[in-house]
Structure 1
Amino acid sequence: MSQLPFSQACENNKAPILEVLRHSFASVNRVLEIGSGTGQHGVYFSAALPHINWQCSDMGNLSPLNARLALEGQGRLSKALALDVTGPWPALEVDGIFSANTLHIMDKGSVECFFAGAGRVLGATGQLCIYGPFNYGGDYTSASNRDFDAWLKARDSASGIRDIEWILQLADAAGFALIQDHAMPANNRLLHLTKVSQDSQG
């Protein structure tokens, strides 16, 4: 196990995220995780939420992710799917989508594709939970987030912490309504959105 990729951030945030997901995903049966990374979240949440069939995915290099799912998943997790939000999405029947620390890594076009794809995959009453840092009113919520954003942009100028107002505009266009914006440790947030039927929108 020591040879598997490891994220300390996942270890730090998995318990607080779980407390939100217990409520947000209480009635959800099948979740697609976008950007599963090391697989630590998938292993932890699938064990803690046994009513959910948790499907991991990532853009590429699935071998180490699948190695963790096989080693630590206790048979609960199938192999991760290759999913690039800008390309065709796998044909799936899910009623929940989860993603952590991905939107600030993506460029803006990919963020737009993320919401468009989620809107297509999730039907009415589908639940979408997104964890990560966001800006409010065009400003950072902390000095550490300002420093993190500078680090992101130095590494990739197309990345960066996104404005919550823009995120909610994209969500609305894809048919989602914000249920709750949860404050989380380390200046992060967890957005719980639900798919709204066309009748409700009209």
Structure 2
Amino acid sequence: MGTVTIGVSIAVPEPHGSLLQERRAGFGDPAAHGIPTHVTLLPPTEVDRERLPGIEAHLAGIAAVSDPFTMRLEGTGTFRPLSPVVFVKLVEGALGCDRLQQRIRDEAGPVPRELQFPYHPHVTVAHGIPDAAMDRAFEELAGYTAQWTCRSFALYEQGADEVWRKLYDYEFGSGRTASAVPAQGGSPVESPAASPAR
């Protein structure tokens, strides 16, 4: 059946998601419209397609026993020179994200993924672009703030065109899929509504 590249993340809701996506595009990041604005829980991971139903069940189980929590973005940070990334900082909600990502990557689960770097939840706004543009992203979004209540996370699949498309939302407290996060403006990242049963 082949392999697929998946990721799990918390979508940044509107209007913040589209605003940051457009700013990322404005800084010259060519990947901006192929990646919904998000906080990563599981980085890009290649799996056998036949494992997807087990992964979906695993994620639903985690969501069913998870509670909503506040997330707040404020200011900018960077991973340079280690990694060419500028991001908006997550100043509230990091503990909730960390708990979720640990459970998703649990050794006993279907995606026991090792991380290249220690987990650090954030929202990328520039990646792999010239230093002058990275500096501009860092400076222009230094005063940015946003806050919302996180009530779900989502499973995404990366297409052959390198665009990430949402497969399912996993709503906290129910574990059922829901279409609670709309597509961001100008972004081809939503797939058609899908049944929980693949």
Give the TM-score normalised by the residue count of structure 1: 0.27
Higher strand fraction (1 or 2) = 2
Higher RCO (C-alpha under 8 Å, 6+ residues apart): 2
Give the TM-score normalised by the residue count of structure 2: 0.27
Higher helix fraction (1 or 2) = 1
